[in-house]
Structure 1
């Protein structure tokens, strides 16, 4: 119980001012039958039958409006002003604008009165469909991985969350973005307190993520009931939750990773007292976790970690017995600084000799509470906050009005989120003197990072000075213990990028229908329509790839584990799944982040000048997706990880053979139900198999040092291959099941796959044309590929630095 007591941290209330914002939501349900070309009658499944839609409507007046469409149904709308910097869905609050009234009319020389705010052209409102029920591409991707017996449950749950995501949750996200976190270094009496102040909207997002079970659905009773599909449902919820909630997916990712690490490597006390909190649906019990790895010498190169851990061999208190290690060092980039606990990599000193092992082999993984109860007799009130007297951790999901999906779309126009009082505007934090805050656990917040994006997410530079912690796993096994955490956090990052790019794309589609140029809607301009079609395929490919890896993770988590290793003999399919998951985890993060950033950039461009304006909200998608290319490893770092996976065991072809078998499994449906002569899907399936075989052959050179120069191209080729196979698989399932939107599924798969192996693998990997005529592949160099690659590497170095890399 002492361990539980030392990890307690009570969150005190902070009062906020709520200036008004012209943002309102009206929701309704519209029933619509499938309009496929098929003459078969509509199927009696919610995935086909009902199309509830959430419409985001941007108007020029900033008022609430409800529009009646041609079919007579009431379409919900979210209205906001394009002209006012302080009244839009995504914006930043400027105190200087508060209380300033604009002139309502101007009288000209002829005595004619007009309103300058409404005179001239005003852009017509545009509408965006419900992010789940109105998006057949996303629906069919998720449906492909949903067991038949859970179809209705998943559909109802995701309809409900989709409605909530673009209504009250989006308002919370906007408020959190408008009120960025800050650090109060000293209190009113001059004491150094390093108090991190966040908005109530940010804290409410924490509550809502717990109520929605974003983390908990992958564990406990839900995982036992849903099996491998638990991760699919989790990622589907995250897909809907994350784009407009100020990147709160980041602390959830690290919380999920910490839960998995404790489940695999934690001791009994951690599993009893900490794990239930990380996976709870009760907001009063739920804890979040940080992940503090990055230091000044480097982020991805953890072997240079400077933070050290020293064991207290003669503890002087129960607290020191529960947390026997003390950490000393500086963590340069620590996301989710407001978390309750954190996972920390540190170099453990030998208790007897005082020596440390350099490099990654000397690292251990630690769990540390961010705050600790004081041990002085005068801290009785502080001790009362500990879990011994607080509400016990729930072992099963708690019940709340928000837990019940209810109708797919219900009115939330005037509905206040549980635990909040009014969300009709920005939240301006009002700091009060927190006399009852628990003290930080030997942590000093040096500063918050001023970042390009993710502005609402508190990311800090921390100094650890005697921070009490407990080791997870065995000494010197920190990298191995953190590996399952990275698998989860990389998947979350990939899903965040795919989700944000899809949400931005849907908004660009809606805008193109009402924005006119040269007398017609820009949706009817061939060049713009082609750009939207290209983005449609790109966002589908990223989404299909990420959900496939989520399903793969769900299957591998069904394998019983002991000390981080399988406790049973694996079947051939399970061995393939484990190998492919290790290979695809860095690839999906790199590939989805690359595609997501490109797609968000295209969507911003689709809005023209309006997309570049902060009040439009599109720029935030681009900024927040851009971090996905850096979080959890840059493209070069992840490509190097792919090379390490290939080289493991000294036979790279073995790993690529497993991937080839996996691609054959993905394309099996298209080949079984079709023939190359009658269905183009089968041709695409065969092309994926040919590309996998070619990629396996190219991997035979992975042991060569020069292969690293082509590692990123190789990893990108894997991403294009697997995403192509995923789209083919979804299209085949859609055609076989006569799903709504199947024609579009087939078209997307064919466009992404292309016509040749080169379309999938890319010319950069297959030949030297990228370098022009400087070092072309000749008959002489073709017989000496390593020498030719060395010439290319030297050419790269000469071009950038003016001197060759190798003499």
Structure 2
């Protein structure tokens, strides 16, 4: 045949047509560990169905299309009327609708819901991380709204619904609703107390008119938003509906969409309020305290999202190296490549194990679990999101030049990887929050120490790292400059404790040796060769 010069060989098959959940041993075991056995058959069935969808060529194509066709801002209609709408490719609606129907906003409405949802969030991130943003905020809005029982009664059934309704119309006419959030402003960023958006009370005492701007408004196509503004009594939380009950559009002026490094399928906007109608959530002057539960839940989703990105990067790397031959054999069997893959797999499993442990704490009303969350969520958010970027870059390198080409899917993971570290408070904010908890909430530190104390004597490297951590915790004077180092050690010791308890011996051994015992280097692929690295890699295979 004219133009045929060679036969294509030595290329791995596409990683499609498999159960993403069933192939993730660390995730599946965590679900089994944290859920009531009576729920497992039903939960495994749900997650397996979602896992097969995530692994299907069709759903993966939806994720690709949604990212290749980013949202567009339409400020006016053809007649010059202001409409302030965001237009999305049909694939976005398919992906987002599937996420809603899979229960990614419904955790509050069922027993064991947070563990189930956390596992689903890890899976769905591997299809399209962008859609996880509105799913996350809708889920996280519930605890903030519960500060006002009337608001919660009105909105919670809509937010926990498994029906996706994309139309812009009054929320009371919809079978399901989505939420966004607007906290930061140009002049303040993470320092939300510097916000200048004003809130003027209306005569009824519960509703207000907002005037000002938001530098980052996430998911501006949503049905409602939680925002912060300066009321007469100080910084206050408000609910801003996109469409008012009479069907008119609330004043919600979209100035532009952010041109982001990653998260291309999702819209983030700059928005102006001009006498925008809003309803107060919580008391005046207590805006941060009201919205902080939403922030904590979205921070956990940052951890889950990073764990999902890590898992997909590792799955792609192991899959490629399992099929690719070089220098007389499979890449996966080459000692140095095996070392790299095992190191990546360790990082991914440690992230998943910690993330699901925190989700389980949300399902538990015990005060000790709540105290653990107060220190462990910012700790995990700091460390796991920080590890996502170097891991995805190294995993892409396992594919060689192919990993630098868009068709491989790896560049999208690399672009996405820094996002969760920046969103909901960057690294310094998380480290400072950890210090604040240590200084003000001794019960949180006690809960953490009880958690890691369960493995005392089980591994000498973990014991030594714990002892060193105690020494550092004993001196909190002037510790701000060491806050990142302390937070990192808190995360590593907690991960080590969980893996020693729950992971196979070869995984726990390799983690403790490299992350706690000083036997690993600064880059991936520097594990001691005396470890059982082949078993670690085999555990991470996405398909047999």
TM-score, scaled relative to structure 2: 0.89
Q: Tell whether 2:497 aligns with 1:698.
A: no
Q: Deviations over 1:526-561 (max 9, x none)?
A: 111110010011100011111111111221xx3xxx
The match for 1:281 is 162
Asked if residue 369 in structure 1 is aligned to residue 241 in structure 2, the reply is yes
Relative distance call for 1:657 and 1:122 in structure 2 (3 A) is: closer
Segments of 4+ moved more than 6 angstroms: 760-763
| CA–CA separation in structure 2 for the residues paired with 1:327 and 1:760 | 56
2:43 corresponds in structure 1 to: 154
Q: Which residue of 2 aligns with 1:405?
A: none
Q: Please list the CA deviations of residues 503-522 of structure 1 after superposition, one character each: whole Å capped at 9, or x if unmatched.
A: 12111111102222223221
Partner of 1:125: 13
**How far apart are 1:457 and its partner, in Å?**
0.4
Q: Which residue of 2 aligns with 1:166?
A: 55
- Please provide the CA RMSD for this pair: 2.4
Aligned partners of 2:514 and 2:520 also within 8 Å: no
Query: How far apart, CA to CA, are the structure 2 residues paired with 1:127 and 1:186?
Result: 43
1:754-793 alignment, distance < 5 Å: 754=513, 759=518
Distance 1:489 1:496, change over 3 A: same
Aligned to 1:209: 99
Give the Cα separation in 1 of the matches to 2:521 and 2:139: 35
For residue 181 of structure 1, what is the aligned residue in structure 2?
Answer: 71
Residue 202 (structure 1) shift:
1.5
Distance in 2 (CA, whole Å) between partners of 1:514 and 1:259 is 46
Match of 1:785 in 2: none
Question: Which 10-residue stretch deviates more, 121-130 or 622-631?
Answer: 121-130
Question: What residue number does 2:202 align with?
Answer: 312
| Structure 1 residue 159, shift from structure 2 partner | 1.0
The answer for the alignment partner of 1:683 in structure 2 is 458
Does the 8 A contact of 1:448 with 1:458 survive in 2?
yes
Unaligned runs of 5+ in 2: 166-174, 523-544
Distance 1:143 1:173, change over 3 A: same
Distance in 1 (alpha carbons) for counterparts of 2:239 and 2:436? 28
- Report the 3-state secondary structure (helix = DSSP H, G, I; strand = E; otherwise coil) of the residue aligned with 2:78: coil
The alpha carbon displacement at 1:697 in A equals: 3.3
Asked whether the equivalents of residues 210 and 286 of structure 1 are also in contact (C-alpha less than 8 Å), the reply is no
Deviations 1:435-462 (A, max 9, x none): xxx53x1111110000100011010011
Count residues with an aligned counterpart.
511
Match of 1:35 in 2: none
Structure 1 residues 707 and 262, CA gap change in structure 2 (3 angstroms): same
SS class of match (1:294): coil
- Residues 1:623 and 2:415 aligned together: yes
2:21 alignment partner, SS class: coil
Equivalents in 2 of 1:757, 1:335: separation in Å? 38
| Contact 1:664-1:689 at 8 Å conserved across structures | no
**486-495 or 290-299, which moves further after superposition?**
290-299
> Residue 418 of structure 2 aligns to a residue in which SS?
helix
In the alignment, the residues of structure 1 paired with residue 367 and residue 34 of structure 2 have an alpha-carbon distance, to the nearest angstrom, of 20
> Which shows bigger deviation, 582-591 or 143-152?
143-152
Cα distance, 1:246 vs structure 2: 4.2
Per-residue CA deviations over 1:744-783 (Å, capped at 9, x if unaligned) read x2211111112896649999xxxxxxxxxxxxxxxxxxxx
Cα distance change on mapping 1:616 and 1:232 into 2, 3 Å:
same
Residue 663 (structure 1) aligned with residue 452 (structure 2):
yes
CA distance in 1, matches of 2:282, 2:237: 7
CA distance, structure 1, for counterparts of residue 14 and residue 182 of structure 2: 42
Listed as ranges, the matches of 1:723-762 within 5 Å are 723-731=495-503, 745-754=504-513, 759=518
> Residues 762 and 636 from structure 1, CA distance in 2 versus in 1: closer, same or farther, beyond 3 angstroms?
farther
Structure 1 or 2: more helix by fraction: 2
Aligned pair partner of 1:585 in 377, 389, 398: 377
Instruction: Tell me, in whole angstroms, the C-alpha distance in 2 between the residues paired with 1:161 and 1:341.
Output: 27
Measure the CA separation in 2 of the matches of 1:530 and 1:607.
15
Structure 1 alignment gaps of length 5 or more? 1-104, 106-112, 316-320, 351-361, 375-381, 383-437, 559-573, 672-681, 732-744, 764-807
How far did residue 698 of structure 1 move? 1.8
Give 3-state SS (helix, strand or coil) of 2:226's partner: strand
Structure 1's 524 and 687: CA in aligned 2 closer, same or farther, altered over 3 A? Answer: closer
| Counterpart Cα distance in 2 of 1:276 and 1:126 | 40
Q: 2:108 aligns with which of 215, 219, 227?
A: 219
| Cα distance, 1:366 vs structure 2 | 0.6
CA distance in 2, matches of 1:161, 1:691: 39
Contact 2:361–2:369 under 8 Å retained in 1: yes
Identify the residue that residue 528 of structure 1 maps to in structure 2.
337
